[in-house]
Amino acid sequence: MVVEALKERQTVKELAQKFEITPQQINTWKRDFLKEADTIFSKGEKSKKSEEEEKKDQLLKVIGELKVENDFLPAVRQV
């Protein structure tokens, strides 16, 4: 529907009649699509980001665990 509206081969009013919805709904979908188009077409990059973020989270967890161990060891040696 949105692609048809973007092609502009038919007016929004004609498309609304054809699909039995309001022209406002088509305009809303069209606006939302255009606002998010970069994320829709960069699907592979988004997955890559997620993998990178997951790796970063894992590394931060390890750093946190090592910090706790390092903070704990001097206290054990003093006892």
DSSP the chain: -HHHHHHTSS-HHHHHHHHTS-HHHHHHHHHHHHHHHHHHTTHHHHHHHHHHHHHHHHHHHHHHHHHHHHHHHHHHHH-
Give the per-residue pLDDT at 73: 74
**37 and 1 in one domain?**
yes
Name the residue range of residue 17's domain: 1-41
Give the per-residue pLDDT at 3: 84
**37 and 52 in one domain?**
no
**36 and 16 in one domain?**
yes
Query: Would you give per-residue pLDDT tens digits along the chain (79 residues)?
Result: 788 888 889 999 999 999 899 999 999 999 998 888 877 776 655 556 678 888 999 999 999 888 888 877 776 666 5
Contact 2, 33 (CB under 8 A): yes
Give the per-residue pLDDT at 46: 55
**pTM of the prediction?**
0.50
**37 and 53 in one domain?**
no
Give the per-residue pLDDT at 25: 92
**53 and 37 in one domain?**
no
**51 and 22 in one domain?**
no
**72 and 36 in one domain?**
no
Question: Per the structure, how many domains does the chain have?
Answer: 2
| Angle CA 64–61–44, to nearest 5 | 150
